[in-house]
């Protein structure tokens, strides 16, 4: 519990100044670092042929977002499919099969980092550095850009060039380039240096060879692949990416060698998502809005982490169950630290692990799945708050119906067109997740689960939930390198990313186009503890009622089975 308190205190303490700084970055005004960053930014704007002072309408903004994703996706896909004949390939990685290359590209393009490959063995250094790390750096800032544009629409903010656009939401290219250069890259550079000081490798060498101690493994010699691990771990943790250099992620000592590195990497999972909450009040000029969001997210976060850490102590468990729960935990770190990481990595869209999710207690697995279904406890960079805004809009609409007031948010009425778009997002999640899970469990031979019982249901459902939530973690135990898993997970990845970002952007533009109604005594006030409870209730209802049957068939049934034995 002490580590959880330290992580939470550091996240809140560091998140406040980082959030204020990020608000200034996204506002686009003069800053102290202009002498360093402006020349680089201007060259990038010239290459892109854009004027950062020119605001865009939501359709132009969305088109720029999709175009950037398409161009990056094609380049990275070709890189993965030709890496065997390209330089910087000391481990002799061959070209990825087309379906695996497609899944890997879409996974990193959607800020998910779901891995159906072993990074140290199947990707070249060039693919890791140029393909994976580039997407890990840029895609979180794409999500942030769409969030900021949505906030401009909801709060009526208008930037330069607004007179030329009916509803001006800012310039997409500037909203991506400024935080990438001025915020994420410097933060990752500093963090990678700290990780290197803890023993995380940062080298281009092919790695030494060692003789395994276990003679039964049939290996005479094994090559240990190091590589530039520290920079990738830095951006994987800070960028809510989660994809590690090594297949087992931060359970590997080379990615996470010491208790200090474990504490810092755990903190990095939530640092920027917490900073974004503090950014809200400064950026929108509504400090009480930050209190609403922070209070709601913090309450759910503490409850989630507390339940996960409690479940891993095996209270009242039989010796057999306690021994089973010890499997898959990193003995260097201990079960509580693993449970805290599991909770935070699924509260955000990080998805990295320091213990195998397949071996956590069933209730911890239930917590992880629930966190991802909510996808807005802290959430990913940009997309987490975007999902929270969806819950907020739904809560405003429902509260208006219950109290007989016209549903309004920030002085603008929420009417039938906006509610229809919200309904699309509400229905899309169960249709995708339950449909794909049912198909995988029904069609013989496609699931490839290692456990045919209740845990097998959890394994399959977890994989699709992780993809749709753009989280990337997995329970493993699946034959997930097959065309079935690569293609169906790719579908879930895209449907979980693009509608969740672009539909709230469209709603914000629709609201921004309406005449603002001055707030009065009769207005529904959202920045209150009562309304925060309303939001939590809406989240719980949407999460539990839609998915309770599959949760009962999976982790809840598994927990009851362990309790009996």
pLDDT tops 60 at residue 163: no
Domain ranges of the chain: 2-209+223-278, 378-564
Distance CA 142, CA 130 (A): 18
The confidence band for 424, taking pLDDT boundaries of 50, 70 and 90, is very high
pLDDT at 523: 66
pLDDT at 334: 78
Residue pLDDT, tens place only, 375-408? 999 999 999 999 999 999 999 888 888 877 777 8
Instruction: Identify the bridge partners of residue 228 per DSSP, sorted by sequence position.
Output: 202
**Least-confidence region, from 7-11, 27-31, 135-139:** 27-31
Among 479, 558, 500, 557, which residue's Cα sits nearest to residue 373?
Answer: 500
- Mean per-residue pLDDT over the chain, rounded: 88
Instruction: Identify the bridge partners of residue 449 per DSSP, sorted by sequence position.
Output: 478
**Least-confidence region, from 3-12, 51-60, 447-456, 485-494:** 447-456
pLDDT at 174: 96
pLDDT tops 60 at residue 319: no
Instruction: Identify the bridge partners of residue 344 per DSSP, sorted by sequence position.
Output: none
pLDDT at 521: 62
The confidence band for 324, taking pLDDT boundaries of 50, 70 and 90, is low
Q: Where are the beta strands (DSSP E) in 278-432?
A: 408-409, 412-413
Phi, psi angles (nearest 5°) of residue 240: 45, 45
pLDDT tops 90 at residue 198: yes
pLDDT at 67: 97
pLDDT tops 90 at residue 295: yes
pLDDT at 77: 97
Residue pLDDT, tens place only, 97-141? 999 999 999 999 999 999 998 766 788 889 988 899 899 999 999
pLDDT at 463: 96
| pTM confidence score | 0.92
pLDDT at 239: 94
State the average pLDDT over residues 295-312: 93
pLDDT tops 80 at residue 474: yes
The confidence band for 313, taking pLDDT boundaries of 50, 70 and 90, is confident
Q: In terms of C-beta density within 10 A (0-12 exposed, 13-18 middle, 19 or more buried), how is residue 49 classed? A: exposed
pLDDT tops 70 at residue 328: no
pLDDT at 335: 82
pLDDT tops 60 at residue 505: yes
Helices 287-311 and 335-347: angle between axes, nearest 10 degrees: 140
**Contact status, residue 176 vs residue 66, Cβ threshold 8 Å:** no
pLDDT tops 70 at residue 272: yes
The confidence band for 180, taking pLDDT boundaries of 50, 70 and 90, is very high
State the average pLDDT over residues 205-216: 66
The confidence band for 206, taking pLDDT boundaries of 50, 70 and 90, is low
Sign of CA dihedral 341, 345, 350, 352: positive
DSSP state of 378: S
The confidence band for 254, taking pLDDT boundaries of 50, 70 and 90, is confident
State the average pLDDT over residues 521-543: 85
State the average pLDDT over residues 14-34: 94
The confidence band for 54, taking pLDDT boundaries of 50, 70 and 90, is very high
Among 379, 359, 348, which residue's Cα sits nearest to residue 474?
Answer: 359
Distance CA 515, CA 512 (A): 8
Residue pLDDT, tens place only, 93-105? 899 999 999 999 9
State the average pLDDT over residues 348-375: 91
pLDDT at 88: 86
pLDDT at 453: 85
């Amino acid at each position: 519990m002490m580590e959880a308190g330290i992580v939470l205190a550091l996240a809140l303490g560091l998140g406040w100044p980082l959030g204020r700084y990020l608000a200034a970055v996204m506002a686009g005004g003069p800053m102290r670092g202009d002498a360093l960053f402006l020349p680089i930014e201007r060259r990038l704007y010239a290459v892109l042929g854009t004027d950062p002072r020119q605001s865009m309408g939501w359709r132009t903004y969305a088109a720029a977002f999709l175009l950037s994703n398409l161009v990056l996706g094609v380049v990275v896909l070709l890189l993965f499919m030709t890496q065997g004949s390209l330089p910087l390939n000391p481990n002799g990685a061959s070209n990825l099969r087309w379906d695996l290359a497609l899944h890997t590209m879409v996974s990193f393009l959607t800020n998910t980092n779901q891995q159906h490959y072993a990074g140290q063995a199947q990707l070249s250094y060039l693919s890791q550095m140029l393909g994976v790390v580039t997407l890990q750096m840029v895609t979180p800032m794409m999500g942030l850009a769409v969030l900021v544009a949505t906030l401009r629409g909801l709060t009526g903010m208008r930037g330069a060039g607004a007179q030329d656009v009916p509803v001006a939401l800012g310039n997409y290219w500037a909203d991506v380039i400024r935080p990438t250069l001025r915020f994420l890259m410097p933060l990752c550079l500093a963090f990678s240096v700290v990780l290197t000081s803890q023993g995380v490798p940062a080298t281009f060498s092919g790695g030494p060879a060692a003789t395994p101690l276990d003679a039964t493994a049939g290996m005479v010699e094994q090559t240990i692949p190091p590589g530039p691990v520290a920079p990738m771990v830095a951006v994987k943790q800070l960028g809510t990416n989660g994809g590690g250099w090594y297949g087992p992620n931060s359970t590997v000592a080379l990615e996470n060698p010491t208790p200090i590195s474990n504490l810092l990497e755990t903190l990095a999972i939530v640092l920027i998502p917490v900073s974004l909450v503090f950014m809200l009040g400064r950026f929108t000029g509504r400090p009480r809005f930050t209190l609403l969001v922070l209070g709601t997210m913090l309450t759910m976060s503490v409850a989630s982490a507390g339940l996960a850490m409690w479940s891993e102590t095996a209270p009242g468990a039989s010796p057999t169950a306690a021994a089973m729960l010890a499997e898959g935990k990193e003995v260097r770190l201990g079960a509580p630290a693993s449970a805290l990481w599991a909770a935070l990595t699924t509260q955000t869209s990080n998805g990295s692990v320091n213990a195998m999710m397949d071996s956590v207690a069933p209730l911890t697995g239930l917590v992880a799945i629930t966190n991802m279904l909510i996808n807005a406890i802290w959430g990913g960079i940009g997309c987490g708050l975007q999902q929270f805004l969806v819950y907020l809009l739904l809560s405003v609409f429902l509260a208006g119906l219950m109290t007989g007031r016209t549903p309004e948010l920030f002085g603008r009425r929420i009417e039938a067109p906006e509610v229809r778009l919200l309904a699309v997002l509400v229905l899309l999640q169960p249709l995708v997740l339950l449909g794909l899970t049912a198909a995988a469990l029904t069609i013989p031979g496609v699931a490839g689960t290692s456990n045919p019982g209740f845990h097998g249901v959890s394994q399959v459902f977890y994989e699709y939930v992780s993809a749709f939530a753009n989280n990337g973690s997995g329970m493993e135990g699946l034959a997930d390198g097959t065309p079935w898993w690569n293609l169906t997970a790719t579908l879930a990845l895209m449907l979980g990313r693009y509608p969740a970002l672009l539909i709230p952007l469209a709603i914000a533009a629709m609201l921004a186009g309406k005449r603002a109604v001055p707030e009065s005594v009769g207005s529904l006030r959202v920045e209150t503890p009562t309304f925060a409870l309303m939001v939590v209730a809406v989240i719980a209802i949407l999460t539990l009622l839609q998915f309770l049957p599959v949760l009962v068939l999976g982790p809840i049934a598994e927990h009851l089975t362990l309790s009996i034995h």
